[in-house]
Chains A and B, each alone.
Chain A
């Protein structure tokens, strides 16, 4: 269980907070969808959870532990392709396995199997297809056998086959007991794999419910719900 209480973050030289008193509870073993327009605060929330951004106020607990003590249990796949294009898949995994607390040869082999990278280990990462790059980005996040996996737009720019593979893999990880925070703009992905959904807009949490509750008795399409809650106004962020 992740418990987030009154989380607030405002960056320097910005008019409004990136996160404003956000309260959130993520059930253990769930796939928790994080939705929001650009600039809503999704990446800031994930960055706070992964320790790269310090909140101004508020608390985060993971399985009852304060954030600092629990960060070893977190795996993170940022929306950027966060690896070295000049290194091979094997070299990237080996490097990040050395840097990841708790990772070893066995967890590296497991990450390779999970992301189905075995046939490409000696290929230079920069020369991979979009789908393989995303799978490598994903595999690196698995190296420390995380109990909480934060995925920030993990399927951006991949073909349907790779997307399907990644979504099935995320579901299998949930089945193995991993809690997953899943940030995306693709509503159909949320509809397919998530149990719970939180919607952020301009730093505020405007919905946080089980997916079925959010869609209502009419089983409204998630995109319609999202646009109704966040309005269809274009969001210009910088």
Chain B
């Protein structure tokens, strides 16, 4: 036990003196949390109304063109902005074509193509979903303007009857009950920006321990201290355990610091406050399981690489790849369905789900237990593999 504690103390001393390692493990993720929580604050709000800036260029100048512009301006989700990249050009003849005319069918009976009322102009980088949304909204606004014109000028409905048909001439008044539900139909909350980003970057930080841990191991091997430990009969198991425990403590400290940043610092800067749920034990459980997975992976990398440079590159690349797949860098919610399924390949995604069970869904430790079990199994498998690789590396060492 004295040997184990001495090796743990050595590891903590070395880590506490490694400024670059501390920067990577603490400062960088905190900055990510602050930046991403604030930058994505509005995008993640469940009650947020996405507002699309759009400019309207009226080449027609008719009454219905003005009605259309007014209707669009009051349409929820649109903001008329002369400098916007997306433009609606109301073409000359818009009002005449939109007006309800009994002779319209005769005009185009001979198959002559119907002229356009308007033209939609998009910036090249516009997302297809946004194009669809704009086109649908424009069509709906056209219909409501035409319905209004029909009721008022053609059918000559009195105002009170038009009010009774309010959904026809103003679909915005149609009340919608929107809610987020899970696969089982149960109502769910979506994460706020801080609920997405604090666990996500916390998990990333825990996994980023791969780099300093692997580097420290490689340096230990190349500088001969590992050889000295072997001469002193420090077994591979003791050696790996004495690395795992200090890094577990560091991971738990990372978790405490990052959660504190979400609870106290992000709100100070104008972001939402992180809610921690009702299960401190559940947080500890999923944090510990994440740590086990991260340390197992780190030790696998550590015993596999041969140089400090390889350790840094491999550690960084693996962490970034798992983060990209696992919904840390790009939130899972905005991924297409196939990619959402692919997130399950990354232990970071399991961990994120586990943290959400606690901080988002107010679950207990039992809710996070499946993800914790998967992470623990992954970690133990990696530790086993690391032990095998370490043993093999001892036998393949050529020393003359």
Name A's B-contacting residues (CB within 8 A): 11-12, 14, 18, 38-44, 47, 50-53, 71, 76, 78-87, 91, 94-96, 98-101, 140, 237
- Given contacts A18-B399, A53-B399, 10 further A-B pairs with CB under 8 A are A52-B399, A82-B223, A82-B227, A87-B10, A87-B13, A98-B3, A99-B3, A99-B234, A101-B232, A237-B400
Residues on A with C-beta less than 8 A from B225 are 82-84
Residues on B with C-beta less than 8 A from A99 are 3, 6-7, 229, 232, 234
Given A40-B400, A91-B13, A82-B228 contact (CB < 8 Å)? yes
Residues 362-400 of B contacting A (Cβ, < 8 Å): 395-400
Measured CB to CB, the nearest residue on chain B to A38 is B400
B21 to chain A, nearest CB (A): 11
CA distance in complex: A91, B373 (Å): 38
Residue among B14, B18, B230, B398 with max Cβ neighbours from chain A (10 Å): B398
Residues on B with C-beta less than 8 A from A41 are 400
A26 to chain B, nearest CB (A): 18
CA distance in complex: A42, B399 (Å): 9
A103 to chain B, nearest CB (A): 10
B227 to chain A, nearest CB (A): 5
7 contacts between A and B (CB under 8 A): A12-B395, A83-B224, A84-B225, A99-B3, A99-B6, A99-B229, A237-B400
Residues on A with C-beta less than 8 A from B18 are 86
CA distance in complex: A99, B220 (Å): 16
**What total count of A-B pairs have CB within 8 Å?**
85
A203 to chain B, nearest CB (A): 8
- Interface size for B (C-beta < 8 A) is 28
Residues 190-227 of B contacting A (Cβ, < 8 Å): 220, 223-225, 227
CA distance in complex: A98, B18 (Å): 23
Residues on A with C-beta less than 8 A from B228 are 76, 78, 82-83, 96, 140
Residues on A with C-beta less than 8 A from B399 are 11, 18, 43-44, 47, 52-53
Given A84-B10, A95-B10, A39-B400 contact (CB < 8 Å)? yes
B225 to chain A, nearest CB (A): 5
Task: Encode contact with A along B96-110: 1 for CB under 8 Å, 0 otherwise.
Answer: 000000000000000
CA distance in complex: A31, B17 (Å): 40
Contact B400 A80 (CB under 8 A): no
Contact B400 A96 (CB under 8 A): no
Contact B400 A98 (CB under 8 A): no
**Is B186's beta carbon under 8 Å from chain A?**
no
Residues 217-252 of B contacting A (Cβ, < 8 Å): 220, 223-225, 227-234
Residues 344-371 of B contacting A (Cβ, < 8 Å): none
B311 to chain A, nearest CB (A): 16
CA distance in complex: A40, B400 (Å): 7
Measured CB to CB, the nearest residue on chain A to B16 is A86
**Is B2's beta carbon under 8 Å from chain A?**
yes
Given A81-B224, A84-B225, A52-B231 contact (CB < 8 Å)? yes
A166 to chain B, nearest CB (A): 17
CA distance in complex: A18, B232 (Å): 23
Contact A11 B223 (CB under 8 A): no
Partner of A52, one of B223, B227, B398: B227
Task: Encode contact with A along B124-166: 1 for CB under 8 Å, 0 otherwise.
Answer: 0000000000000000000000000000000000000000000
Contact B224 A78 (CB under 8 A): yes
B243 to chain A, nearest CB (A): 13
Contact A11 B398 (CB under 8 A): yes
B370 to chain A, nearest CB (A): 40
